[in-house]
Amino acid sequence: GTPDFGGGPVGPDHAGMAGMAGTTSVDRLREPPGPADVDVTLVARGGRVTLPSGRVVDGFTLNGTTPGPEIRAVQGQLVQVRLVNENVAEGVTLHWHGYDVPAGDDGVAGVTQDAVRPGGSFVYRFRAGQAGTYWYHSHQVADPQVQGGLFGALVVTPTDGLGGTGDVTAVTHLYQGRRTVNGLDGDVAAPGAPGTRVRVRVVNTDNGPVQVWVGGAPYRLAAIDGTDVTGPTPTSDALNVTAGARADLEIDLPADGAGVRVELGGASAVTFGRPAAPTPRPRGELDPLRYGSPAALPFDPAAADRRFDYVIGRRLGFLDGTPGLFWTINGHLWPDVPMFVVREGDVVRMHIDNRSGQLHPMHLHGHHAVVLARDGVPATGSPWWVDSLDAQDGHTYDVAFVADNPGLWMDHCHNLTHPAEGLMAHLMYE
């Protein structure tokens, strides 16, 4: 099978790429030993699981719950997570989605490590360099494992705190087609005193996008994919949060205690204040390309060292000897796809052209890219940094990033049925 999505090797060791001739061993790119500030053990288990709502589904838990425990760190801390596989026969890993960890800790079965076999364990370590909202999930036969619940939130707060702003995480997930927030069905009441400001961290763990809007108060889109938006202004538009993406919403709760509802797809909500009726989806949709105020980039995208053209298509072919209609990159099926080769320090530009007939939430591991233009129209708002890009059918995206994290990195669609059908590539440092 294809590494990871069809199932990577389940190993007794942590060899990862060590066995690949002529390539850098990602296994060597690890956080050096030392005492950890945040030290967590997560035990993965498969079988019948009971959601916080009481509903029983076939799936996976971490320490007995799904979502797994939220991992919280303060910027600058060293995080250590020991993953133990109790009984998942296919093996498990943990990938730190959106977090720029060292390559050897990226958790991609068959690429950066072997999957942890039942009875085995693996220790992940990384420095919490970036504040913001992220998540973790298994990256071994990832579609069933993530859909089945093997994930949790990763939140890193700034060293100087949030200045009295309330802090609420809203992990949304469809378990067998039903929308939940933090594992609960329906509405979830969150703490937040009238007249205070709260930050709601929406994490979309699904294969598809979720529409988010707020009833009862305007909101500011404070961060996208863990990166602060510059100059966010109050809006009441709906927000599209693509698969794998995160959005931090800042809301000033009404002083009179009137109800505020953060609607997640219209099927589930995080609520504040007095109970209030669900609000219909607003007509307007926020466009991150135009939202917020412009700010200087930390590099010059015009002076790109590498340019990659990335056309997403679809055609008949064979994958693992099986015929079917598969996703392609520049006309090729995985593994016959281009390897994006970079050198450390390169400014990289990618032109992504989706002509495949479907939406693809493209996720690049280990890096954050800034969206420069959509359909050739340059961005006019805040720098729009993403690790999960909503690449819509019939549209083009120009993105840029700095190759500042050596290793071998996946770049794939986060509709997790798609990479198993060909839609994945790799970024490799030479």
Site residues (CB under 5 A) for Cu ion? 360, 413, 415, 418
Q: Residue of minimal CB distance from ligand C2O?
A: 97
Amino acid identity for residue 217 in this structure: A
| Residue 244, contacted partner among ligand C2O, Cu ion, none, CB below 5-8 A by kind | ligand C2O
CB of 143 to Cu ion, least distance (A): 11
Coil, strand or helix at 421: helix
CB of 423 to Cu ion, least distance (A): 5
Secondary structure letter of residue 183 according to DSSP: T
Return the number of the residue (220 or 368) whose C-beta is nearest ligand C2O.
368
Residue in 310, 322, 406, 418 with CA at minimum distance from that of residue 365: 406
Long-range contacts, stretch 257-261, CB < 8 angstroms, 24+ apart: 257/194, 258/216, 259/215, 259/216, 260/214, 260/215, 260/216, 260/217, 261/187, 261/214, 261/215, 261/216
Burial of 236 (0-12, 13-18, 19+ CB in 10 A): middle
For residue 301 the two structure tokens come to 């995208």
Q: Under rule CB under 6 A, which residues in 243-262 are in contact with ligand C2O?
A: 244
Q: Under rule CB under 6 A, which residues in 139-168 are in contact with ligand C2O?
A: 139
| Residue 415, contacted partner among ligand C2O, Cu ion, none, CB below 5-8 A by kind | Cu ion
Q: What does the alpha-carbon distance between residue 148 and residue 176 come to, in Å, rounded to a whole number?
A: 8
For residue 180 the two structure tokens come to 């939940």
∠ at Cα 112 (108, 116), nearest 5°?
A: 65
Binding status of residue 97 toward ligand C2O by CB under 6 A: yes
Return the number of the residue (10 or 364) whose C-beta is nearest ligand C2O.
364
Number of residues that bind ligand C2O (CB under 6 A): 10
Query: 323-333: b or e for each residue (b if 16 or more CB lie within 10 Å)?
Result: eeebbbbeebb
CB of 360 to Cu ion, least distance (A): 3
Q: Binder to ligand C2O among 8, 10, 93, 95 (CB under 6 A)? A: 95
Binding status of residue 367 toward ligand C2O by CB under 6 A: no
CB atoms near residue 147 (< 10 Å): 20
The strand pair at 246-252 and 197-204 is best described as: antiparallel
Q: Largest Cα–Cα distance of the chain, in whole Å?
A: 66
Print the binding letters for residues 102-141 with ligand C2O: x by CB under 6 A, - otherwise.
-----------------------------------x-x--
Return the number of the residue (59 or 313) whose C-beta is nearest Cu ion.
313
CB of 204 to ligand C2O, least distance (A): 11
Q: Under rule CB under 6 A, which residues in 388-427 are in contact with ligand C2O?
A: 410, 412, 414
User: Do 359 and 419 meet the contact criterion of CB atoms below 8 Å apart?
Assistant: no
The order of strands in the sheet holding 166-175 is 184-185, 178-181, 166-175, 197-204, 246-252, 220-224, 227-228
Return the number of the residue (45 or 365) whose C-beta is nearest ligand C2O.
365
Return the number of the residue (17 or 369) whose C-beta is nearest Cu ion.
369
CB of 416 to Cu ion, least distance (A): 9
Return the number of the residue (418 or 426) whose C-beta is nearest Cu ion.
418
CB of 365 to ligand C2O, least distance (A): 6
CB of 126 to ligand C2O, least distance (A): 15
Q: What is the binding site for ligand C2O (CB under 6 A)?
A: 95, 97, 137, 139, 244, 363, 365, 410, 412, 414
